[in-house]
Structure 1
Amino acid sequence: MRRNSRRRPTGPRRATFAAVALILGGGGMVAVNVYASATEADGTAQPGGATIDCPDVGSELTAVPDAARSEVDTELASLDGQIAEAYKQLRSATPEQQLDAAFTDASVMKPLEEKRAGTLERIAVAIGNAGQRPEGLEALAGCELLPPEEEQAENEQGGQAGNGPVAADFADINSVQPSAQAPAGQNASRGTFVTRCGVNENGLFNSDNVIVAPGVSNGAHHFHDYVGNQDNDAFSSDADLAAADTSCENQGDKSSYFWPVLRLQNGNQEQDAQAPGGGIEGNAGEILTPKEVTMTFQGSPTGDVTAMPRLLRIITGDAKAHVNGTANANASWSCTGFEDRQLKDKYPLCPEGSDVVRTFKFQSCWDGRNIDSANHRTHVAFAAADGSCAAGFQAIPQLVQRIVYDVDAPSLDDGGDTTPLFAVDSFPEQLHKPVTDHGDFINVFEEGLMREMVDCINEGRECDGAGAPEEPQQPEPSEEPSEEPSEEPSEEPSEEPQQPEPTEEPSEEPQNPAPTGDDEPTEEPATEEPPAATQSNEPPADDAPEATATADRPKISATPTQGGTEEDPAEAIGSPTASPTESSVAVGNDQPVYGTAPQTAGGSLADTGAKLWPAAAGSILVIAGFVLLRRFTSRA
């Protein structure tokens, strides 16, 4: 019989094999962890960019009786929560199920339609009990599941959470043509007033929106940066805002300025990675702190401006523009040194040495009566193409926010693997499109400081936040943009020189704003009667414009926070059945409002670095393998 010539491994050889296995296993764990951190937002696979397209109910409710306002706002927020829940159901399905129309219709879309129908009925009942019941709301219950965009379908990851952005959402700023500006009229109020409130270096974030969804936690379904007022969450009343601290240099400015955070999709996870408004809803990556934030108030191209009423609320841009259309899109994107070139529906690719710039221009015409309106739009408007306000409206100082970020242009050819993508937070169905960018403002200026602002602007001076004069403006006419709403977003110029070097000074000349917008779309105020007023709980000063109002919104939780502490709501707005301790509360019949505790995080929100324990374990195994290998090799 032939003898088997293969030798069985000796002890040292077996140890060597084991050591090699340990090295390979540990290295594999490291590799898996690195890959996971670069492709997953919350440790689970995310489906690529299918969109649930639902009619925007808020845009249809242009006149809601004051007695029904708080209940309607709560129910509108519930509609957004239902869409978020539908996205979670899609994410939990297998890829095969996601592509199965029968499955998605039966398990996601039909249940969503039934929930929306119940909520719409409660809205109609609430309005009917306080006035005339609206007709046709039931037709808005149905939604459509749209397939992923072509670019995402062709093996593009579509961002860290798998729901955008994609390469087509970016454009080289050098490819954008500069735009000309129309000169202001001879009677223009040419002054400017600048207030400085920091860059949110203290980390005040939450996913609420006290304007659109008062009393509803996670009403925005995406995180906001806050500067200025330090007590701004879903449960802040007018009295809370007036009594709060402020991050502004001038303590007379307690206004609230907020906008969606910008995230770097570098595989890192924030503390909200498993939270509503954050990773659960597809908002993933490292939150970027702005390099610079400037708020400039400027005048009217046709005449003097009047003071803003205290607690006036203004929203610019449309957070749902990807689904609603671009009629209300208004934010713009550019690069320092290139701010005469503005993008509406693209993120900019800036050259080396140039920073990314977001610009928000707010409405500059006020109806003279209301500090808010049912759809949060019709009490204010943009000026016409010639700079004039519509009949019944008066010019107020126009807020222009300029936010600068030190962020590199992403590498699009490899989906951001080399240099990561960046994107604003958004509602789940909006896929982080740049056209959905938006800004929010609540005026909490002291009356005396507001008067200084108005005098400064009308007298043609350039003033700092304290109203102190700096240098008089040049006699040459300033340029005012056309504020005529359009169906498509237009590129907005500024007077920044076309230099590649970054500039940190805000553009002093107005840029061409697109139509109004944000979380709810608008209708032209020039053709409709302004709605009934909402309430400021503080009487205006004798020389301030008088704004009639409705009852102030009560605060559910009175504890201001910057550090992520949860608040214990005492009562629900518009919902007598609300429970302060549950994660959702019943509204109307059995429909939940999604979350009662504020989704607030503050201080060091950025708990960056993906969960590192697998990598650490892998590294230990690698080291152990090398030790064993060395030991038994020496014995051999």
Structure 2
Amino acid sequence: MRCSSLAGALALAASGVDALLRFSCSQLVVERLDPLVNPGSAPSPHLHQIVGGNAFNISMDPKTPPPQIATCTTCTFAEDFSNYWTAVLYFRARNGSYHRVPQKPNVGFEQANGGMTIYYTPYVGSTKSNVTAFQPGFRMLVGQQGFRTKAQASQFRQLTYTCLKDPMTRSGETMDFPTAPCKAGIMANVRFPTCWDGKNLDSPDHMSHVAYPASGTFETNGPCPATHPVKIPQLFYEVVWDTTKFNDKALWSADGSQPFVWSQGDATGFGTHGDYVFGWKDNALQKAMDANCASCPQLKTQTIAVGNKCSRESQVKEPFDGWLDTLPGGAMAGMKAA
């Protein structure tokens, strides 16, 4: 199920993007909390891996922006106290037990302790357009954890996987999990909508206040729909899962089916999703978007080594590493919709 219209980071580069804000955020914590979908619930139903500011908590009260309470961030831009999170990938062995798949840093971020690569892109090609940076209190979700079919997942245009032949592979994206061993791991690509209604910082489903372009994609400079007229930066996560230690097909199911499953029990890949809570300090992100800069010298930075020191103790104590009989939270892995 190849997505030939999506060329990911290569498409951005080929389009001449010179305003690409690309940086590393190391892992902050792995735990069953989800302050967007399950606010106030500890634990939440399934496991997440979180990067960004150490203000991440059970509720993420929008009345208390992260920069007001965070003391550090795992991101290389020191003014970014946002939180970015996804589900966690597991390997399901032939005997039915599970093992968490480790993350590994992206190219150029070799000391990032796993985590993610984060992109904010204000425009594509030579046509510069004004974008409005996310505002304090802004949050959004892309993807549905319960989706298990291509038809369902197609409502989200740009949630894909790249089977890495080598660390630089950026082609051959698919909407479902790769079906053969990937020599250098699996990259999960999470692209958020790029149009905003201009009014609401959130919505009950954490999606309705944002939208995709009315036609085309962000990469083709598609126009925003009338209902969501405000252009916002394209937020994009790259997460590299080091599946290489599980590439021996003798470990896979006897029928040869792919063995990876998201922590909510999705063995198809169609249930991939990403969450975002904005937390840049003051107007730092807007300055970066207005400046159309890549390295943005006007922004404060910190080394990856400093970012690696930022952490937060897990609020949910449970085993999630090593060989497990069940997924954390007891989700059942399967191919059908939850």
Work out whether the TM-score is over 0.5. Answer: yes
Select 2:105's aligned residue among 269, 287, 291: 291
Q: CA RMSD of the aligned region, Å?
A: 3.7
Equivalent residue for 2:186?
Answer: 356
On the 8 A contact 1:300/1:395 being kept in 2, the answer is no
Q: For the residues of structure 1 that align with 2:179 and 2:284, how far apart are their CA atoms? A: 36
CA distance in 1, matches of 2:211, 2:66: 24
Contact 1:190 1:298 in 2 (8 A): no
3-state secondary structure, aligned to 1:436: coil
The two structures have a TM-score, normalised by structure 2, of 0.71
User: Which of 334, 346, 355 is the matching residue for 2:177?
Assistant: 346
Deviation at 1:370, TM superposition (A): 0.8
Contact 2:138 2:277 in 1 (8 A): yes
> Letter of the aligned partner of 1:608 in structure 2?
G
Asked if 1:247 is matched to 2:77, the reply is no
Q: 1:445, 1:396 → 2: CA distance?
A: 15
Structure 1: runs of 5 or more not aligned:
1-170, 269-281, 469-560, 566-598, 612-636
Task: State the distance in 1 between where 2:161 and 2:271 align.
Answer: 12
1:394 corresponds in structure 2 to 230
Q: Which residue of the partner structure matches residue 271 of structure 1?
A: none
Moved over 6 A (4+): none
Equivalent residue, structure 1, for 2:247: 410
1:209 matched to 2:34? The reply is: yes
Q: 2:314 aligns with which of 564, 573, 576?
A: 564
Check the 8 A contact 2:79/2:299 in 1, yes or no. Answer: no
* Letter in structure 2 aligned against 1:196: S
The DSSP-based 3-state class of the residue aligned with 1:371 is coil
Contact kept, 8 Å, 1:410 with 1:421, in 2: the verdict is: no
TM-score (norm 1): 0.40
1:341-369 deviations in Å (ceiling 9; x for gaps): 111023353553x3321111111111111
Residue 265 (structure 1) shift = 3.3
Q: Residues 438 and 466 from structure 1, CA distance in 2 versus in 1: closer, same or farther, beyond 3 angstroms?
A: farther
CA contact (8 A) 1:194 1:464 kept: no
1:212 and 1:466 map into 2 onto residues whose CA distance is 35
- Hey, what's the Cα distance between the residues in 2 that align with 1:422 and 1:191? 35
Provide closer, same or farther for how the CA distance between residues 179 and 451 of structure 1 changes in structure 2, counting only shifts above 3 A.
closer
- 1:246 deviates by 1.8
Establish whether residue 258 from structure 1 lines up as the match of residue 71 from structure 2: no
Secondary structure of 1:314's partner?
Answer: strand
Q: 2:160 maps to which residue?
A: 332
Q: Distance in 2 between matches of 1:262 and 1:348?
A: 15
Gap runs ≥5 in structure 2: 107-115, 217-221, 301-310, 326-338
1: CA distance between counterparts of 2:152 and 2:77? 39
1:462 alignment partner, SS class: coil
> Residue by residue, what CA displacement relative to the aligned partner does 1:130-176 show, whole Å, maximum 9, x if unpaired?
xxxxxxxxxxxxxxxxxxxxxxxxxxxxxxxxxxxxxxxxx8xxxx5
Where in structure 2 are the equivalents of 1:260-339 lying within 5 Å? 260-265=87-92, 284-292=98-106, 293-301=116-124, 303-322=129-148, 325-329=152-156, 330-334=158-162, 335=164, 336-339=167-170
| Superposition deviation, residue 261 in structure 1 | 0.9
How many residue pairs align between the two structures?
283
The structure that is helix-richer by fraction is: 1
Query: Counterpart of 2:270 in 1: which secondary structure?
Result: helix
Question: Following the alignment from structure 2 to structure 1, what is the Cα–Cα distance between the partners of residues 6 and 141?
Answer: 26
Offset, 1:466: 6.1
Tell me whether 1:421 sits opposite 2:256 in the alignment: no
> Which residue does 1:454 correspond to in 2?
289
Amino acid at match of 1:373: S
1:486-635 residue pairs with structure 2 within 5 A? 562-565=312-315, 599=316, 607-608=321-322
Shift of 1:609: 5.1
Distance 1:332 1:223 in 2: 20
Q: Does 1:384 align with 2:214?
A: yes
For the residue of structure 2 that corresponds to 1:435, the secondary structure is coil
Equivalent in 17, 36, 48 of residue 224 of structure 1:
48
Percent identity, aligned pairs only, is: 20
1:86-140 residue CA offsets vs partner (Å, 9 max, x unmatched): xxxxxxxxxxxxxxxxxxxxxxxxxxxxxxxxxxxxxxxxxxxxxxxxxxxxxxx
Q: Is the 8 A contact 2:122 2:233 kept in 1?
A: yes
Residues 465 and 313 of structure 1: CA distance in aligned 2, closer, same or farther (over 3 Å): farther
On the 8 A contact 2:51/2:74 being kept in 1, the answer is yes
